[in-house]
Amino acid sequence: MLLIDDPAIVAEVTAMADRYEAALMANELETLDALFRDAPETIRYGVGEMLYGFAEIAAFRKGRAGGSPQRRVLRRVITTFGSDLATVNLEFQREGVTRIGRQSQTWVRTDEGWKITCAHVSLMADIS
């Protein structure tokens, strides 16, 4: 039977998600790259881009002046499936903006540790 939300695994993924958020807000490209699985199957759909493979994701981050807009996390849900697969979904709000953003990530445990293998970022319609 598949164990969902084992507290020890949730704690591991929570630490990784916290590390990702801190690196994103500090624009620490080396850390962000290290958190994504270095593989052609890794995907990131952003607000204005569709990136296929680790190389495209890394190139996008390097080319984005100033990094990600600053944001605060409004809600986060982490769900683990067994000991090697997890999802991290969150709602966020960028500084000075009323729109709500959404981010989803699929994390997988690899020989090198937990890595993001699929990510999606989108923005809701303006609520003002």
Query: Of the candidates 24, 1, 41, 27, which has an alpha carbon nearest to the alpha carbon of residue 88?
Result: 24
Predicted TM-score of the model (pTM): 0.94
Element (H or E) spanning 42, and its range? none
Confidence of residue 127 (pLDDT cuts 50, 70, 90): low
Instruction: Give yes or no for residue 66 having a pLDDT over 90.
Output: no
Place of tokens 């607000």: 47
Share of the chain above pLDDT 90, in %: 93
- The pLDDT score that the predictor gives to residue 125 is 83
Strand runs (DSSP E) across the chain, as ranges? 43-45, 50-52, 71-81, 85-94, 100-110, 113-123
Burial of residue 81, with CB atoms counted within 10 A of its CB: 0-12 exposed, 13-18 middle, 19 or more buried: middle
The answer to whether residues 42 and 116 touch, using CB atoms and an 8 Å cutoff, is yes
Alpha-carbon span 43 to 23, nearest angstrom: 19
Domains of the chain in start order, with CATH, are 7-123 (3.10.450.50)
- The mean predicted confidence, pLDDT, of the chain is 96
Residue 5's pLDDT is 98
Taking residues 60-89, what's their average pLDDT? 96
